[in-house]
Structure 1
Amino acid sequence: MIETNREESQSRLSHTEDPSYDTMISNTQSAALPSEALPANLPMPESTFTCGCCYETMVQPTTLNCGHSFCRLCLARWWKTQKRTTCPECRYPWTGFPHVNIILRSTIEKLYPAQVKERTTSLESPTSVTILEEFEEFGQQLEKDQTKGKTSTKAPRGFVWGVLTTLGVVFVIQLLLNWGSGDSNMLVYKPLGTWKSEEVSQWLYELGSWAGNQYSQKFLEHSINGNLLMGLNDESQLEEEPFNIENPLHRRAILAALERIKQRGAKPPRDFWEYKSLHRGLSTFLLYAVKEFPRITIYSMYMFYYEDVFLPFIHITCPGSHKVEEDGVEGLPMAMNYSENIEWDQWVEFIPKFVFLPYYLMAQLSWAWLDVNFMPMLFILANCVFLTMNEAKAIRTVFRHGLKMLVPTIKKPVNTMLFLLVSVVMWPLIPSIVCDFAFYVSLYYSPCGNFYTVFMQ
């Protein structure tokens, strides 16, 4: 027994005298000391404090859940470019929002002050500052959501994209079933001389209830077709058989609408779908462009589509005091309700709306067409609200962070506009079903996407 205790004592003594053991104890005690107590000549390689992204000495080192550490700017760049909250090295997702590792930062600054100072100066560019600010704003919003109990942002995103996918499948099926089935039968494609009596009756209903209720059935009973209407040149002819229109205001309105049809070669589009069918590429372009650049789009309407697009647009949104109000005549065609000239009071009303509330002008136009095309106008009205809120958020961001945020804010709209301009040149080569699909995506998907941007981000 005594011999056994003696052997154990000798073993402990020899182990304590082992130099490797002393080194291990010394290193452990040194690691436990704060960074201020570390000696400047500590034999530790610089690669120990190298960032896994830029392979330089880490500046503002940030440690993730997986244990890997990176420069905070490198982590912010990874988050911005990849749109992921994962480790750049092992791809392990990090939870919460990573903060700067204070102990590690103090250690690096103690050991390598020159390298840290040099790298910090080289990284103080406007782009780097902007990326870091966006990263910190993301972190603040993430922590705020977690405080409110929003532990995960995947559920709302999954729900929204599930709704969008379902809508997409429905509209694709609708496009495939109805594509090209009714466009050729629209009156916007038919010259006046080829109209049948049923089509003349339909056209009268489009002029308004005053014409449809009083004259549609009468024209149908007398088999008045488009060829007969082609010969009308004088208002007095409408007083005679077989027309028998006694009201002079009604005769004037019908004759003016006929003159407009003769000048155009076909009936002008009455509603949203007829205009889209007649101008497939232009309607798709305007629907996309007005979301990104509403003011430039309205100005381009004034420059290039004055009579067909801008004139009706300003007369509906800013009618002014010159609107024609005929006795007992309601629902006259757009060209008959308003003068072809734009008065000064219309410009006074239009310009402030154009500068400050362009989407309000779009909402006014949609509201005027709500009884004609209820569902698409309802989507456009909702989209105008969401787009106005998005624009307000963008303006607030620019005011808070200065003009340096202006370029990132308009970068996406500019890219979209460039893509649209190239697409306009290619419209004749693009199949009509592709144009229709792009049109419906912008019309029905856009409000859902903007709703997500406003309320979910």
Structure 2
Amino acid sequence: MAASKEDSHSQFHQNVKQSNLKANGQYDQPIRHSRSHSTSDLPAREFEERTLKPSLYEEAGTESPDDALYSEVSSLDSNFSCACCYELMVQPTTLNCGHSFCRLCLARWWKTSQKTTCPECRQPWTGFPHINIIIRNTIDKLHPKAIRRRTASLQPFEDTKLLQEFEEFGEAEEKTRESETAGGRQDRLRKGFVWGVLTTLGLVFFFQILLNWNRQDSEMLVYKPLSRWRPADVSQWLSELGAWAADGYSRQFNASEINGVLLEGLQSEGELEKEPFNINNSLHRQAILIALEKVKQLGGKPPIDLWEFKALHQGLSTFLSYTVREFPRLTMTGMYMFYYEDVFLPFIHLVCPARSAVSGEANIIVQYYSEDIAWEQWVEFIPKFLFLPYYLYAEFAWNFADVNALPVAFTLANCAFLTMVEAKAITAFVRRGVRTTFFSLKRQTNMLFVIFFSCLLWPIIPTILTDLMFYISMYYSPCINFYEVFMQ
């Protein structure tokens, strides 16, 4: 009897141990396994615990620890299940809406539907979805064996090819989005740049109108005949001839009340030596007489700065401001053929002065009042004309930096930018040939049409509109060329 009791007790303890192992192992299975167990295999004590304890928790209105643990694990596993295949997610990918899927399932959905929407809620995703690293690492830690089996089952060639196609689609989408973003940023930058330049140009134009509001062109010396010159006008004219005349003769003539009528009556150099002129230097007398003859020929003082030239030649100044920018060499050729004495001769004497054998004050007449061009000047002028035409214009503008500082600064900057633009055009021609150069001449062709129609309609164009065109060419052109060189 004792032996039989010991055998029955050992058998009971063995059954309890096996039932405990089964009970502890039931939560390690996936959530798809049934929770039901056969009560016939359980010993009496555990059967009572499995049947009586839930009733006690139900009477108390609380949840049993086993049910709570099972519910928690089931909820945890369901969050790691793909909403398409209802399996454990491999390479979990989370969309903008918050739903997560296997990356292969998402690729299959994209391939079959040809849509970039969520397979569950149909909400479009923005951007390209990437693998959720946090969910992937969590699954790897909680279900290492299951995820290895799932990953091994998804290695066929078709699946790999589909995933590769899906990734290529994503890369193309990201490149397109980046280019659109860069293009939008470039458009915003371009619009901001243009509006900034237009605002600045408008302010400059407004202040220029205010400065010239009470200024009458008829009172400028370029319009005044010599007979109407007052002593102050004579003093101003002498000061503009150079430092040699401004230092002594300008104040002397003003103090002596010498007006335009007295100057108009001068016939010979000897008269300047007498009272009230008292000029003892023969070279100075000769230079003043030559300058005086030019005033008599023109009917007014020759223009000495940009604004005087614009007031005297309004149409020509506006025309040159556009043609110099687009056709520098052709403009110089036109000046030589049609405006030799008025424009070209002063231009070449300033940018390529003659190296006269006469030095000192005697060089004044040769440099500023000579109507001949020496061969040394042509030797210096022609290479610059062919290879660096904008450098010639910059040299010409630099001579007026003391009287027109702001326009000269814009002109020098514009000449530098235009030289760079021309260098870029030559480089493009060398690399790409004639076809690219033909398309790059589109702006010059449009400018030719604008100039042609402006010449036809010039008599009926209001003066304020011509001034606006001049200021646009003067102040807006450097900004456009800067944008073309550095920002395109």
Place the TM-score, normalised by the shorter chain, in its bin: 0.5 to 0.7
1:309-348 → structure 2 map (5 Å cutoff): 309-322=343-356, 325-327=359-361, 337-348=368-379
1:162 aligns with 2:189: no
After superposition, the C-alpha distances for 1:37-62 in whole angstroms (9 at most, x for unaligned) are xxxxxxxxxxx9xxxxxxxxxxxxxx
Letter in 2 for 1:415: N
Partner of 2:152: none
Partner of 1:384: 415
Partner of 1:256: 290
Count of residues in Structure 1 that have an aligned counterpart in Structure 2? 324
1:216 aligns with 2:247: no
Aligned residues of 2:279 and 2:285 also touching (Cα < 8 A): yes
Aligned residues of 1:323 and 1:338 also touching (Cα < 8 A): no
Partner of 2:84: none
Partner of 2:327: 293
Letter in 1 for 2:234: V
Distance 2:215 2:358 in 1: 38
1:173 aligns with 2:206: yes
Partner of 1:304: 338
After TM superposition, the structure 1 stretch with the greater mean CA deviation from structure 2, 419-428 or 431-440, is: 419-428
Q: 1:259 to 1:348 in 2, by over 3 A?
A: same
Per-residue deviation, 1:222: 1.9
Match of 1:225 among 259, 283, 305: 259
Match of 2:219 among 165, 179, 185: 185
Per-residue deviation, 1:151: 8.5
After TM superposition, the structure 1 stretch with the greater mean CA deviation from structure 2, 150-159 or 279-288, is: 150-159
Identity %: 51
Per-residue deviation, 1:303: 1.0
Distance 2:275 2:429 in 1: 69
After superposition, the C-alpha distances for 1:388-436 in whole angstroms (9 at most, x for unaligned) are 1111111111221111112111111121022112212322221211111
Letter in 2 for 1:153: Q
1:271-286 → structure 2 map (5 Å cutoff): 271-286=305-320
Residue aligned with 2:401, SS: coil
Distance 1:169 1:428 in 2: 25
| TM-score scaled by length of structure 2 | 0.61
Per-residue deviation, 1:311: 1.0
1:330-409 → structure 2 map (5 Å cutoff): 337-409=368-440
Partner of 1:60: none
After superposition, the C-alpha distances for 1:111-144 in whole angstroms (9 at most, x for unaligned) are xxxxxxxxxxxxxxxxxxxxxxxxxxxx99x97x
Distance 2:357 2:297 in 1: 23
Distance 2:381 2:444 in 1: 24
Residue aligned with 1:233, SS: coil
Aligned residues of 1:322 and 1:343 also touching (Cα < 8 A): no
Gaps of 5+ in 2: 1-106, 115-125, 128-164, 166-174
Per-residue deviation, 1:229: 0.5
Per-residue deviation, 1:384: 0.3
Letter in 2 for 1:222: S
Aligned residues of 2:349 and 2:367 also touching (Cα < 8 A): no
After TM superposition, the structure 1 stretch with the greater mean CA deviation from structure 2, 202-211 or 156-165, is: 156-165
Aligned residues of 1:196 and 1:226 also touching (Cα < 8 A): yes
Letter in 2 for 1:294: P
Distance 1:438 1:291 in 2: 14
Residue aligned with 1:188, SS: coil
Partner of 1:234: 268
Detail structure 1 runs of 4+ shifted over 6 Å in the superposition: none
Aligned residues of 1:172 and 1:437 also touching (Cα < 8 A): yes
Distance 1:411 1:370 in 2: 34
After TM superposition, the structure 1 stretch with the greater mean CA deviation from structure 2, 436-445 or 202-211, is: 202-211
Distance 2:358 2:207 in 1: 41
Per-residue deviation, 1:439: 0.6
Distance 1:198 1:260 in 2: 19
Letter in 2 for 1:424: C
1:197 aligns with 2:197: no
1:26-37 → structure 2 map (5 Å cutoff): none
Distance 2:297 2:275 in 1: 25
Distance 1:426 1:280 in 2: 15
Distance 1:180 1:352 in 2: 45
Give the aligned CA root-mean-square deviation in angstroms.
3.2
Letter in 2 for 1:156: L
Distance 2:467 2:440 in 1: 29
- Bigger relative contact order (CA 8 A; separation at least 6): 1
After superposition, the C-alpha distances for 1:432-453 in whole angstroms (9 at most, x for unaligned) are 1111111111101111111111
Distance 2:446 2:456 in 1: 16
Distance 1:309 1:323 in 2: 25
Distance 2:445 2:111 in 1: 54
Partner of 2:458: 427
Residue aligned with 1:309, SS: helix
Aligned residues of 1:322 and 1:338 also touching (Cα < 8 A): no
Per-residue deviation, 1:170: 0.9
Partner of 1:124: none
Distance 1:161 1:377 in 2: 22
Partner of 1:7: none
Distance 1:227 1:323 in 2: 36
Letter in 1 for 2:462: P
Per-residue deviation, 1:284: 0.6
After superposition, the C-alpha distances for 1:176-221 in whole angstroms (9 at most, x for unaligned) are 4324723221100011011111111111111122212212222122
Gaps of 5+ in 1: 1-27, 34-47, 49-64, 67-102, 104-138
Partner of 1:269: 303
Letter in 2 for 1:267: K
1:439 aligns with 2:470: yes
Structure with larger Rg: 2
1:21-60 → structure 2 map (5 Å cutoff): none
| TM-score scaled by length of structure 1 | 0.65
Per-residue deviation, 1:262: 1.0
Distance 2:462 2:356 in 1: 43
Letter in 2 for 1:167: T
